[in-house]
Structures are given as structure tokens and as C-alpha cells.
């Protein structure tokens, strides 16, 4: 449990004038005493909070009925940790007697270094992204051992792209969308349904050759997925135009859930919860990645390796993500992008200045949804299986968390947050040293704690750094001098 | 007719549970203008606390009187859930009160994920079934072998809901706490200037909302006899729908909305398709927010510049 901000719990030292010869001793002891009292209260509170659900566990007995097991030791450990942590914080960082930190007028060393490094961040990031698969071959020692790392790169880049797509809606236009995964699902199902469709396959088999549809399905369906998702963005966006803030968030959440429930229940179209499998794999613009004579390897004179396909997938998602970034950057400098940001800042002012808010909101929804659709099609061709399981609300929450933690509106921040969150969650899966006997024992499963830590991180970032990792913004339009502004000055709109 | 009567009874029972949860949403929204996204998970946590308490009372203490068990469980669940909600408000929402508008909402989403996964880690991912507690039923009428029944537990749910709502109504309308609450709803800064302890009032609002959710949790556990760590999300969204349908900020509206949602859900399942009952509930949410954003009993929102 995170410590409560304790200024009102701690004993505030007596403000009455202190005799000059009196040393600072008593004041300090009162601070320590206050901290001790405070720590005791927090510890007790933690113990009470953890008592019912950690202290007892209802586990299934062999007969199927529930029996209670007791874990009071665990409660005591947690309470002790909170108590000690709280005490240490109270006497150091949160000490009411600590002299207030001097506010320096010149930027600190770190800030100056950051300012120096900032022009280099984007090129470095993109060169690293391009070099990443080659680096992973080098470091993993060979083509096949690098599979895990390339796969991880694809996984992270998918979320970078989704984050950038949602960033258009949330970060630029200020419309809080909790159902973004719906567009991801539309894209994935569009590609899955079209590529496995027998009539379409037969039609192309009759006109352009037997293998045409399996070879070209992804490249033809990719734009279609984006267009269909954009269409759904408009369809879902249209009714919610009048809604603002939290209501908009809840309605988009409801839309996301409705789409998922329809995907589960419309069995004749989507095969229900069982999902759609045997989606054709990606091809190198028509050339399949297989060991045959006409395959990618033999055409390019390489030895066949299933990693070729992974590499290609990596560069496809890198290209798609880069496309998202470039389009966003360009749009921000165009009237529509400026209108989005104006809408985020003040909708009423926008309307009085003659901006068509309906059109502006719809374009934001549609553009964001289109990139979601692209990412969905890519997801389907990568996994080659889609089911409603992949498009739960949790997925929307993860993407939203990436946008928020990155600092809404900042592209590098979103990319950094995606790498941190998704990569971090993935790392947690591999922390096998925690299974050592002296730590948690062999039945400890770190991956169970992924979402727990994830939820905790979301709360913690909001409390400690509500403007995200990158908290400054570079305005696209400026008077005389271009300079970064604090994220606190950027509103999040009322849409 | 018989089917209709039976569904009416079932719908009212379900609606009572939704109504109890919806009050928590509506009160918090009224006082600080945020959707407490974690409220559905607070409800789920309360059901788990109730489960532990029932197990403790039946297996360790060895109580056999079902009403005593229910009464003690109700009190224990309300106390502990209130504490959980107080802590959540203190840790995750209060520091964000002056922050930008999306911050508490995002913090609440994080809290919701945290709570459900905490329960999953602490209690395991499987369904937790209890042996049925109150099994007696009253047969109201019988035609051609189809019995319309009113179960004792349904009576308990409706009576407990009605009694608690009456008590709660008194609390908000007649006591100093209720007055302070309504004052904070209208103008927090002015209320603070007039000597109302705003922080404490908001914290108590969260505690009361959670206590009512805990009642709903105990009733849910008694009615269905099974609880799972993921059970907070869908009832939470439905209860929020109820709060919106009744007019957010309005207490009678929340109860009315809850009962309406309960009735719509049961009738939809009985007459149309049970697979799409959640779709029906979510669609009501969408339709209400789009066409009747102030709800049935709410005040229309005035747009200020």
C-alpha cells in the first residue's frame, strides 16, 4: 500500500517563537516521534487492510468445498515493510522540519544535459529501431537464437504503434477513448475474415491464379482494414460527439465491450470464442517465406530459415509505426491538426472561432481508428489466429496507460512508455531468480504479478508524475521564439 | 403471465443489487465529479471479504444460525470495505484533486486493475463456490406444473435493500453529515469557507458508497453462492449504467435506474437472447448518454464558459 501523504497526521512543530539559546534538539525529536506515531498508524492500517484477503485464503479442498488457510505471518511482513518504509520517509524526504529545497533559477545539470541531448533522441531512437534485429543476432549469437528478441521487438513496436494511434485521439484531440481496442479488433477481424474467405479465394483463383489470394491477402487487406476501422471510428464517433470527458470515456468503453460481445456471440460469422485460425502468413510482397523453389530464401540465394519471416514482420511493423508517427507529425502542422489541439484546449473558443468541431472530432476518431485497424491486421498476420480474448478492456487500458505514462501528446514519450511498460512486463516473466528458495520459493510465479504491478504503476505515476515521462511540449505554432512549454499548461479538453 | 411474474421477481432482486452499487457511483460523481472506476472492484472485494467471513463463522466459530451469520458478515464486510475505500480515496484520488481532469479517472482505472489482480494473487483465480445458504422458497402460484416462486433470499435482498436505503436517505437528508455532503456537492470552495471539512466529507462519501457496495457484495454472494476475482467489472459497468439512467447525482435515480437495469436484463434474457444480455445493458448506457444525458431524475448540466 502506498503511503498516505502525511502532513496532517504528523505532529506539526509548535510555531510559537523559540528562545534563541534553545538548540534544534527538541524539534528534531518531535519530528522523529511524529514519524514514529505516523508509521505505527500506517502499519496498523496496512495490517487491517491485508487481514481479510491476505491473512485468510479460501482454497479448494479435495472434496470441492472451500477451506480456510491462514497466512498471518504474511500480513505482519507487509505491515512491517510499510511501517519501516513510512518511518524512513517521514524522517527524511517528508520531514516537516527539512529546510525547503532552494528553487534554482538556472536549469539543473540534468535539465541542461536533457536539452543538449533532445535533438539527438529521435534519430538515435529510429536508428536503434532499425539496427535492433541485427544487434539481437549479434548479441544472441546466431539467427535462430535471436528469435525471442526479435519477437519481443515486434511485440513492443505493435504497442508503440497503437500508442501513437491512440495518441491522436487522446493526446492531440483530447477525447478520452477507452474503447480503442474495438478498432484494433475491427482491423484484425477484417483481415482474418477476408483472408480465410473461400469465395474470395475462389474468385481470385479463377482469374489470377491459385495462390494469388494467400500470397497477396495481407497486402490487399491492410489498407482495407484501416479503411474499415476508420469507418467504424466515424460510426462510433458520430453519436458520442455531444459527450464530454468521463461520459465519453464510459461510452467508448461500452462500445468496445459491445463489439467484443458481438464477436463472441455472432458464431456464424466469427466462429465465436473459438476464434479464426489458419490465417495465411505474411509474404514478401507475394513471395512466400517457405523452403520451396519459389520461396523467399531460394530467390534471394539464402539458406532457408524461419527467422526470415520474423525479420520481415519486424520491418513491416516498424514501417507501419513510422508511418503513424510521420502522419501525426505532418497532420499537427496542418489545419486539421491545429484544430485538434485547439479543440483540446477549449472547445467553446473553437466553436466561436468557426472551427467545425463535429468534423474535427470525427477526423480525429477516424485517423486514430485507422492506425488501430492497421495494427489489428498486423496482429492477425503475426499470430495467424484471432479470438475475442485478445480484445478485452484490459488491452484498451494498457494502450491508454502507455499514452498517459508517456505524457499525452508527446510521441517520444509514448514510445518510451511502450518500451518501458511492455518490455518491463515481459521481463517480469523471466525473473526466474525470484524463485530461489531464500526469496519466494519455487511455486512463485512472477508473471501473475504483472497486471498487479501494472495497476500499481498507473496509480503511482498519476500521483507522483501526472504529466507523464515527457512533461514538456513543443508547440507547432509560436511567436518569435520556439521553446518547450510545461505539460501542465496543456489542457486535456472537454470533448 | 407466470413467466412474466417470475422474471419480475428476479429482476427486482437483481435490480436491488445494482441499485446499491449505483449509489456509490452517483454520490462520488455528485461530490467530486469523477467516475470512480474502481467501485465495481470494491464491490468484488467486499464479496470476497464476505466469503472469508462466512467461512470463518461456519467452519471455525461453528455458528449455525443463518441470520446471525448474515448479520455479522454484513457488518464485517461493510467495515472492511469502507476501510479499503477510505484508503483508496486517500492514496489514489485525494492527491489528484487539483490535477487535470483525466488524472483521477486514469488513477481509478489503475486502482481497478490493482484491486482485481490483488484478489487474484491473494485468493487464486478460480471461482469460489459456497454451499447454498438460504434455500427455502415460497410458491406463489402454480399452473400446469410451472411454479412462480419467491425465494427467501430474494425477500432478504429486497428487505435489506429497502431498510438500508431508508436509513441512508435519513443520513443524507437529515443529519449534519448529509448537509455537509450536499453543500460540498454544490460548491466545494464555499463549503470550505463556511467551515465544512471538505476532505473528511469526501472521504466519508467514499466510505458510505463502499459500505453500500459491501451490502450488495454480501447479497450477491448469498444469491449466487459463487464469486470470482473478475466479477467486479461487468456489475460495475451495469451499476454505472443504472446511475446514469436514473440521472447521475440523484439518489432515488440511482435506485430507480438499478431496478430498471435489473428488470431489462432479466426480461431480455427471458424473452430475447441470454447471450446478448450484456450487450443490451451496454446499449442502454450508450443510448441514455446520447439521448438523455441528464437521466430520468437528474438535473440537466449547464455548460459554463
The verdict on A125 and A15 lying in the same domain is: no
Which residues in chain B have their CB less than 8 angstroms from residue A58's CB? 51-52, 55, 123, 128
Task: Tell whether A250 and A129 lie within a shared domain.
Answer: yes
Q: What distance in Å separates the CA atoms of residue B242 and residue B289, rounded to the nearest whole number?
A: 11
> Are A163 and A411 in contact, with CB atoms under 8 Å apart?
no
Q: How many domains does chain A have?
A: 2
Angle subtended at Cα A398 by Cα A2 and Cα B85, rounded to the nearest 5 degrees: 35
Residues A42, A189 share a domain: no
Tell me the range of A366-380, B26-40, B139-153 where mean pLDDT is highest. Answer: A366-380
CB contact under 8 A, B111 and A400: no
The whole-number average pLDDT for the span A297-302 is: 80
- Report the gap between the CA of B141 and the closest CA in chain A (Å): 35
pLDDT digits (tens, 9 = 90+) for A353-390: 999 988 999 999 999 999 999 999 999 999 989 999 88
- Are A154 and A27 found together in one domain? no
The predicted structure's pLDDT at residue A485: 61
The arithmetic mean of pLDDT across residues B24-51, rounded, is 90
Q: Does any domain span residue B102?
A: yes
Residue B237 within a domain:
no
pLDDT of res. B276: 84
Neighbours of B133 (CB within 10 A): 18
Per-residue model confidence (pLDDT) at position A324:
94
Asked if residue B84 is part of any domain, the answer here is yes
Say which residues have a Cβ less than 8 Å from residue B302's Cβ, sequence separation at least 6. none
- What is the helix, strand, coil percentage profile of chain A, to 5? 65, 5, 30
Percent of chain B with pLDDT over 90: 37
Please state the rounded mean pLDDT for residues A182-203. 89
Residues of B in contact with A254 (CB under 8 A): 237, 282-283, 285-286
Considering CB atoms only, which of A49, A242, A459 is closest to B110? A459
Query: Is A58 in Cβ contact with B123 (below 8 Å)?
Result: yes
B239 assigned to some structural domain: no
Interface contact flag, B290 A251, Cβ < 8 Å: yes
Q: Is there a domain that residue B277 lies in? A: no
Average pLDDT over residues A122-150: 84
Report the chain A residue with the minimal C-alpha distance to residue B107.
A459
Whether residue B260 lies inside any domain: the answer is no
Is there a single domain that holds both residue A136 and residue A178? Answer: yes
Region A186-214 average pLDDT = 85
CB A94 within 8 A of CB A6: yes
Judge whether A124 lies within some domain.
Answer: yes
The reply to whether A204 falls in a domain is: yes
Confirm whether A114 is domain-assigned: no
Distance from CA of A452 to the nearest CA of B (A): 5
Asked if the structure places residue A457 within a domain, the reply is no
Whether residues A137 and A51 fall in one domain = no
- Does A91 share its domain with A206? no
Q: Which residue of B has its CA nearest to A398?
A: B110
Nearest chain B residue to A405 by CA: give it. Answer: B106
Are A150 and A296 in a shared domain? yes
- pLDDT greater than 70 at residue B164: yes
Domain of residue B137 covers: 16-232
pLDDT tens for A242-258 read 777 778 888 888 889 89
Q: What is the number of domains present in chain B? A: 1
Q: What is the pLDDT of residues A68-123, one digit of tens each?
A: 888 888 888 888 998 898 888 888 777 666 666 555 555 555 556 666 666 777 88
Q: Does one domain contain both A415 and A478?
A: yes
pLDDT at B193 over 50: yes
CB contact under 8 A, B95 and A448: no
Angle, to 10 degrees, between the axis of helix B176-186 and the axis of helix B2-32? Answer: 70
Contact A455 B115 (CB under 8 A): yes
User: Is residue A488's pLDDT more than 50?
Assistant: yes
Residues 6+ apart with CB under 8 A from B50: B73, B74, B76, B77, B214, B217, B218, B221
What rounded mean pLDDT belongs to chain A? Answer: 80
| Cα–Cα distance measured from residue A87 to residue A92, given in angstroms and rounded to the nearest whole number | 9
The whole-number average pLDDT for the span B201-220 is 93
- pLDDT tens-place string over residues B256-290: 999 999 999 999 888 887 778 888 888 888 888 88
Distance CA B57, CA B44 (A): 20
Is residue A107 situated within a structural domain? no
Instruction: Return the residue of A nearest to B51 by Cα.
Output: A58
- B60: closest CA of chain A, how far (Å): 9
CB atoms within 10 A of CB A447: 12
Taking residues B172-183, what's their average pLDDT? 88
For residue B45, the chain A residues in CB contact (below 8 A) are 53
Candidate from A446-450, A469-473, B196-200 with smallest mean pLDDT = A469-473
CA distance A236 to A258: 11
pLDDT of residue A290 exceeding 50, the answer is yes
Tell whether the model's pLDDT for residue A5 goes beyond 50: no
Dihedral through CA A228, CA A229, CA A230, CA A236, nearest 10?
110
Indicate yes or no: CB of B107 within 8 angstroms of CB of A458: yes
pLDDT of residue A368: 94
Q: What is the CA radius of gyration of chain B?
A: 19
DSSP annotation of A171: I
Q: Average pLDDT for residues B105-127, to the nearest whole number?
A: 89
Parent domain of A18:
1-97
Nearest to B241 by CA among B209, B287, B273: B287
Dihedral angle of Cα B120, B125, B130, B134, to the nearest 10 degrees: 70
Q: Distance between CA B15 and CA B235 in Å, rounded?
A: 11
Of A65, A97, A129, which closes a domain? A97
Lowest mean pLDDT among A362-366, A407-411, B19-23, B84-88: A407-411
**pLDDT average, residue stretch A289-309:** 80
Asked if residue A42 and residue A178 are part of one domain, the reply reads no
Is residue A444 in a domain?
no
Regarding whether A301 and A418 lie in a shared domain, the answer is yes
Q: Which of A309, A344, A296, A3 is nearest to A133 (CA)?
A: A309
- Position A451 in a domain: no
Residue A108 lies in a domain: no
CA distance linking residue B261 with residue B246, whole number of Å: 10
Would the CB atoms of A5 and B95 count as touching at under 8 Å?
A: yes
Among A48, A63, A97, residue at a domain's last position:
A97
Assess whether A305 and A394 both reside in one domain.
Answer: yes
Q: Summarize chain B as % helix, strand, coil (round to 5).
A: 75, 5, 20
Does any domain span residue B204?
yes
Please check whether residue B3 lies inside any domain of the structure. no
Tens of pLDDT, residue by residue over A374-430, are 999 999 999 989 999 889 888 898 898 888 888 777 888 889 889 988 888 887 777
Amino acid at each position: 500500500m502506498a503511503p498516505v501523504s502525511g502532513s496532517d497526521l504528523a505532529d506539526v512543530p509548535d510555531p510559537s517563537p523559540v528562545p534563541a539559546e534553545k538548540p534544534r534538539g527538541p524539534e528534531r525529536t518531535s519530528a522523529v516521534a511524529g514519524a514514529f506515531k505516523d508509521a505505527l498508524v500506517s502499519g496498523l492500517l496496512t495490517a487491517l487492510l491485508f487481514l481479510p484477503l491476505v491473512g485468510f485464503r479460501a482454497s479448494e479442498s479435495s472434496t470441492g468445498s472451500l477451506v480456510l488457510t491462514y497466512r498471518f505471518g504474511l500480513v505482519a511482513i507487509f505491515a512491517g515493510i510499510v511501517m519501516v518504509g513510512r518511518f524512513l520517509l517521514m524522517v527524511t524526504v517528508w520531514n516537516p522540519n527539512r529546510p525547503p529545497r532552494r528553487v534554482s533559477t538556472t536549469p539543473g545539470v540534468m535539465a541542461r544535459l536533457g536539452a543538449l541531448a533532445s535533438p539527438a533522441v529521435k534519430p538515435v531512437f529510429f536508428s536503434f529501431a532499425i539496427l535492433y534485429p541485427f544487434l539481437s543476432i549479434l548479441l544472441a549469437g546466431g539467427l535462430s537464437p535471436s528469435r525471442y528478441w526479435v519477437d519481443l521487438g515486434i511485440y513492443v513496436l505493435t504497442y508503440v504503434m497503437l500508442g501513437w494511434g491512440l495518441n491522436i485521439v487522446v493526446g492531440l484531440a483530447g477525447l478520452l477513448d477507452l474503447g480503442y481496442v474495438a478498432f484494433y479488433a475491427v482491423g484484425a477481424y477484417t483481415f482474418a475474415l477476408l483472408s480465410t474467405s473461400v469465395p474470395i479465394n475462389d474468385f481470385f483463383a479463377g482469374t489470377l491464379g491459385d495462390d494469388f489470394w494467400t500470397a497477396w491477402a495481407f497486402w490487399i487487406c491492410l489498407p482495407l482494414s484501416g479503411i474499415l476501422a476508420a469507418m467504424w471510428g466515424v460510426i462510433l464517433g458520430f453519436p458520442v460527439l455531444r459527450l464530454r470527458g468521463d461520459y465519453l470515456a464510459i461510452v467508448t468503453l461500452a462500445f468496445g465491450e459491445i463489439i467484443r460481445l458481438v464477436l463472441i456471440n455472432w458464431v456464424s460469422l466469427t466462429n465465436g470464442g473459438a476464434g479464426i485460425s489458419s490465417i495465411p502468413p505474411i509474404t514478401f510482397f507475394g513471395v512466400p517465406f517457405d523452403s520451396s523453389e519459389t520461396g523467399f530464401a531460394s530467390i534471394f540465394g539464402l539458406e532457408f530459415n524461419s527467422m526470415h519471416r520474423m525479420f520481415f514482420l519486424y520491418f513491416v511493423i516498424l514501417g507501419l509505426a513510422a508511418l503513424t508517427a510521420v502522419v501525426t507529425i505532418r497532420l499537427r502542422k496542418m489545419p486539421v491538426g491545429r484544430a485538434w489541439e485547439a479543440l483540446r484546449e477549449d472547445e467553446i473558443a473553437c466553436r466561436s472561432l468557426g472551427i467545425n468541431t463535429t468534423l474535427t472530432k470525427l477526423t480525429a476518431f477516424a485517423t486514430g481508428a485507422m492506425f488501430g485497424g492497421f495494427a489489428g491486421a498486423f496482429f492477425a498476420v503475426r499470430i495467424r489466429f484471432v479470438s475475442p480474448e485478445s480484445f478485452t478492456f484490459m488491452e484498451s487500458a494498457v494502450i491508454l496507460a502507455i499514452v498517459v505514462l508517456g505524457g499525452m501528446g508527446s510521441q517520444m514519450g509514448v514510445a518510451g512508455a511502450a518500451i518501458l511498460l511492455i518490455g518491463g512486463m515481459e521481463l517480469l516473466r523471466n525473473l526466474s531468480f525470484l524463485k530461489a528458495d531464500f526469496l519466494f520459493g519455487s511455486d512463485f510465479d512472477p508473471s501473475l504479478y504483472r497486471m498487479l504491478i501494472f495497476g500499481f504503476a498507473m496509480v503511482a505515476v498519476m500521483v507522483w508524475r501526472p504529466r507523464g515521462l515527457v512533461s514538456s511540449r513543443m508547440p507547432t505554432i509560436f511567436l518569435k521564439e520556439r521553446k518547450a512549454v510545461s505539460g501542465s499548461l496543456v489542457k486535456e479538453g472537454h470533448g | 403471465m407466470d413467466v412474466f411474474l417470475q422474471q419480475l421477481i428476479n429482476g427486482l432482486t437483481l435490480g436491488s443489487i445494482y441499485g446499491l452499487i449505483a449509489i456509490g457511483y452517483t454520490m462520488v460523481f455528485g461530490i467530486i465529479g469523477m467516475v470512480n472506476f474502481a467501485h465495481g472492484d470494491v464491490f468484488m472485494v467486499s464479496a470476497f471479504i464476505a466469503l472469508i467471513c462466512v467461512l470463518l463463522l461456519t467452519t471455525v466459530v461453528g455458528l449455525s444460525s443463518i441470520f446471525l451469520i448474515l448479520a455479522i458478515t454484513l457488518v464485517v464486510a461493510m467495515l472492511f470495505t469502507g476501510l479499503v475505500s477510505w484508503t483508496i480515496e486517500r492514496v489514489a484520488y485525494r492527491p489528484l484533486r487539483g490535477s487535470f481532469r483525466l488524472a483521477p479517472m486514469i488513477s481509478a482505472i489503475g486502482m481497478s486493475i490493482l484491486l482485481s489482480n490483488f484478489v487474484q494473487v491473494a485468493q487464486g483465480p478460480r471461482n469460489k463456490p459456497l454451499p447454498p445458504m438460504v434455500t427455502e422458497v415460497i410458491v406463489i402460484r402454480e399452473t400446469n406444473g410451472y411454479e412462480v416462486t419467491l425465494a427467501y433470499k430474494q425477500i432478504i435482498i429486497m428487505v435489506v435493500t429497502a431498510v438500508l436505503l431508508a436509513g441512508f436517505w435519513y443520513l443524507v437528508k437529515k443529519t449534519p453529515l448529509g448537509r455537509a455532503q450536499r453543500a460540498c456537492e454544490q460548491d466545494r470552495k464555499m463549503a470550505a469557507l463556511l467551515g465544512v471539512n471538505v476532505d473528511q466529507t469526501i472521504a466519508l462519501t467514499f466510505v458510505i458508497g463502499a459500505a453500500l457496495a459491501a451490502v450488495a457484495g454480501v447479497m450477491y454472494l448469498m444469491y449466487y453462492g459463487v464469486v470470482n476475482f473478475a466479477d467486479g467489472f461487468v456489475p460495475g459497468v451495469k451499476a454505472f449504467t443504472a446511475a446514469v439512467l436514473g440521472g447521475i447525482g440523484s439518489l432515488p435515480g440511482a435506485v430507480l435506474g438499478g431496478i430498471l437495469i435489473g428488470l431489462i436484463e432479466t426480461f431480455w434474457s427471458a424473452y430475447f437472447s441470454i447471450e446478448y444480455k450484456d450487450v443490451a445493458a451496454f446499449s442502454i448506457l450508450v443510448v441514455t448518454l446520447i439521448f438523455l444525458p441528464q437521466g430520468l431524475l437528474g438535473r440537466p448540466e449547464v455548460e459554463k464558459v
